[in-house]
Structure 1
Amino acid sequence: MFPIRDHNPSERTPYVTWALIAINVIVFLSYFPSIGGQDRLLMAFYQDWALVPAEASQGREMHTILTSMFLHGGWMHIIGNMLFLYIFGDNLEDQLGHLGYLLFYLASGVAAAFAQMSADPFSQVPMVGASGAIAGV
Structure 2
Amino acid sequence: MFIPLYDHNPKIYVERPWVNQTLIVLNLIFFAIQYVLPAAGEEFVLITMAVVPGWLSEPMIDQVPFLPDQTTLVTYAFLHADWMHVLSNMLFLWVFGDNIEDAMGHIRYLIFYLACAAAGGLAHMLADPASTAPLVGASGAVAGVIGAYIILFPKVRIYVLAKIVVPLPIPIPALWVLGLWIAMQIFFVLFPDGGPTAWWAHIGGVIAGATLVFFMKRSAVGLFGR
TM-score w.r.t. length of structure 1: 0.90
Amino acid in structure 2 at the alignment position of 1:26: I
Equivalence for 2:108? 100
Trace 1:31-110 onto structure 2 (pairs within 5 A).
Answer: 31-35=34-38, 38=39, 42-58=42-58, 60=62, 61-110=69-118
* In 2: Cα distance, 1:63 partner to 1:104 partner: 16
From 119, 122, 127, give the equivalent of 1:114. 122
How far the C-alpha of 1:25 sits from its partner, in A, is 0.8
How far the C-alpha of 1:111 sits from its partner, in A, is 0.5
5+ residue gaps, structure 2: 63-68, 146-226
CA RMSD in angstroms, aligned pairs only = 1.5
* In 1: Cα distance, 2:131 partner to 2:142 partner: 23
Find out whether 1:23 has 2:26 as its counterpart.
yes
Contact 1:57/1:117, CA 8 A, preserved across alignment = no
* In 2: Cα distance, 1:119 partner to 1:86 partner: 29
Render the CA deviation track for 1:19-76: whole Å, top value 9, x for unaligned. Answer: 10011111111122334xx4x6544431222110111133553221111010000000
Find out whether 1:5 has 2:3 as its counterpart.
no
* In 2: Cα distance, 1:57 partner to 1:89 partner: 32
How far the C-alpha of 1:100 sits from its partner, in A, is 0.9
Contact 1:50/1:126, CA 8 A, preserved across alignment = yes
The structure with more strand, counted as a fraction of residues: 2
* In 2: Cα distance, 1:53 partner to 1:20 partner: 25
* In 2: Cα distance, 1:114 partner to 1:46 partner: 17
* In 2: Cα distance, 1:25 partner to 1:62 partner: 23
Amino acid in structure 2 at the alignment position of 1:124: T
SS in 2 for 1:127: coil
Amino acid in structure 1 at the alignment position of 2:27: N
Identity of aligned residues (%): 45
How far the C-alpha of 1:4 sits from its partner, in A, is 0.5
* In 2: Cα distance, 1:45 partner to 1:16 partner: 24
Q: Which deviates more, 40-49 or 113-122?
A: 40-49
Amino acid in structure 1 at the alignment position of 2:36: P
**Larger Rg over CA atoms:** 2
More RCO (CA 8 Å, sep 6+): 1
The structure with more helix, counted as a fraction of residues: 1
Q: Which runs of 4+ in 1 moved over 6 A?
A: none
